[in-house]
Chains A and B, each alone.
Chain A
Amino acid sequence: MAAPSPRSHLYRLLLILVVFGAGFLAVKQWATPDSWNYEHWYRGDAVVEAAAQPLVYGGNDSCKTCHKDVAKLWRKKPHRKVACETCHGPIVDHAKAGKKTAVAFIDKTRAQCLNCHLEGINRPRAFPQFSKQGEIGKLVPKHKELDAVTPCAKCHEAHDPRP
């Protein structure tokens, strides 16, 4: 048998590296989703899949189709930046294909108002802020005689909450 070339071990190493590299590329090809968008770095099918999800929240425009009067009032008042479904719940529980299917849920608790109006040092000073139960009278004199549980909505109309 002829003596092996002094480079034969390197050829074998090279072969292993090539096989390993090719195997890696094959696995990479297999593991990368077909619809992968290399330009913007996301799975293309994800958009289609997300669009096919059933509708839960319809947005303000979907409410306006029936509730034109409320929309008109609400549009001019301080709460115009709050979406209808924030307090009324998702439209999917209330209407389907333009027809009412159930009475809309309304969260009238004080906690619901305090989701935004609880005092916090990160909120702008001019933004109306209130402490939790019991301390509500500190900022607004009219609140002094309030108990800890009466909902804000008892006096304030949520669509136009000004005092």
Chain B
Amino acid sequence: MELPGDALLNYVFPNNVHVAWSVMIVIYPYITGLIAGAFVVSGLSHVFKVKEFEPIANFALIAAFCFGLFAATPLLVHLGQPQRALEIYFTPHLTSAMSIFGYVYSGYLLLLMIEIWLIYREYFVRKAGEDTGVMKLIWTVLTLGVTTYHPDSAKLDRKLAVILAGIGIPWAFILHGYVGFVFGSVKAIAWWATPLQPVIFLLSAIVSGMAIVLVMYSFIKWRRGERLDQPMVKKFSAFLWGIFILDVTMELLEVAFAAYEKGWHWSQIKPLLLGPLFETYVIGQLLVLSVVPFVILGYVVLSGVKGRLMLILANVAASFLLLQVLFMRFNVVVGGQLISKSERGFVEFHWEPFSKEGPLTAIVLFSAPFVAYYIISRFIPILGHDDDSSVAR
């Protein structure tokens, strides 16, 4: 195996044999990215008035909220100090990207909550009038005690929701651009240190967020036995394809620059990509999980394919893209740490499936947003049956 720094021996520092940022730190930017991506879908409808996305705008917003609820849990499991988790909020300062994150993330969750509240307020008011007992109390609390719905306030709410969505798009970009910033600014790790990192993280976030919205939408509609909105899926595929092309372009540009410059970065990255990351990066992320969805989505968008086949192809491509971004997160987070600090060898990564920070915990944490979505969807109409006139569009 080729080794970094023309090393003859795989020399790894004795305090550098364990990959400290493991699966938890892989799924943390993954979930954060899903929030940003899902929010972009609702923003495309609410702000940019893409009318095909109108039926799924609120659904995407709620999905973003569900992912938002659990985005920080992998960090909590990784740090293992829940009683200290809040301290990041109490001593913020501008020299720590991690500290600023607390404010960006919680501010964003607040914005999402207010936007959802404004959209569903009419529904809360109606339910507060209809239901009895505990549910009436809960609905009334959700209306903040204002149990009449004024026609003027409907207009006002709609306007405010659009403004919040407008603020939310750059905010979502900052939220996820920041995650890339945290990695891109680690100058000691050649595989991370590039100013392109925030852009790559952001674009891949939008790709994964859009893909999960499409897959969730299709799954829910299929389970309910309802027809899928074909023009929407077609338009959605076009957006997804376009953003994915941008995403892969940035990913390839990063490597292309390092390869062309043939500098110190490349002396570290080349053996990494051809060695420990060959399967997950070259074969996984690039050859299989990028080329296949690129071809499928291109076919869906450019050809006249319609009906069931189009829906299946779009969903297969979206599932591939979900995996592509997951692989990308793994290749960045774990891959960067595989280059030993000695720069003369590779650290070995161990999956430890049942450890505190292992894949099992990751699966449990990653299921949580879907459970939250299921619970929320029992109480409010998300993917509208068309008679839900009391939910703002």
Name A residues whose Cβ lies closer than 8 Å to a Cβ of B. Answer: 3-10, 12-13, 16, 24, 27-28, 31-32, 36, 38, 41, 121-122
Contact = CB atoms under 8 A, between A and B. Distances in A.
A5 B252 CA distance: 56
A88 B206 CA distance: 62
B90 A16 contact: no
Contact of B11 (A24, A41, A122): A122
A6 B156 contact: yes
Given A27-B90, A28-B90, A3 B11 contact: no
B95 A121 contact: no
Interface string B110-128: 0000100100010000000
A38 B90 CA distance: 12
B148 A4 contact: yes
A7 B148 CA distance: 11
Contacts of A24: 89
Interface of B: 9, 11, 86-87, 89-91, 93, 95, 114, 117, 121, 143-146, 148, 150-153, 156, 160, 342
30 contacts: A3-B150, A4-B146, A4-B150, A5-B150, A6-B150, A6-B151, A6-B153, A7-B153, A7-B156, A8-B146, A9-B143, A9-B146, A9-B153, A10-B156, A10-B160, A12-B144, A12-B145, A12-B146, A13-B144, A27-B90, A28-B89, A28-B90, A31-B87, A32-B90, A32-B91, A36-B91, A38-B93, A41-B95, A122-B11, A122-B342
A15 B14 CA distance: 56
Contacts of A36: 91
A31 B143 CA distance: 33
A123 to B, nearest CB: 12
B121 A9 contact: yes
A161 B318 CA distance: 69
B150 A121 contact: no
A8 B145 CA distance: 10
A28 to B, nearest CB: 5
Contacts of B89: 24, 28
A121 B9 contact: yes
A28 B106 CA distance: 15
Contacts of B87: 31
A24 B152 CA distance: 33
B111 to A, nearest CB: 11
Nearest to B117: A13
A4 B143 CA distance: 13
B43 to A, nearest CB: 21
Contacts of B342: 122
A121 B11 contact: yes
Q: Which 9 A-B pairs have the closest CB atoms?
A: A6-B152, A6-B153, A6-B150, A9-B146, A12-B144, A31-B90, A28-B90, A8-B146, A32-B90
A16 B342 CA distance: 53
Contacts of A12: 144-146
Nearest to A5: B150
A9 B144 CA distance: 7
A28 B117 CA distance: 27
Contacts of B11: 121-122
A42 to B, nearest CB: 10
Contacts of B156: 6-7, 10
Contacts of B9: 121
B75 to A, nearest CB: 19
Nearest to B150: A6
Contacts of B152: 6
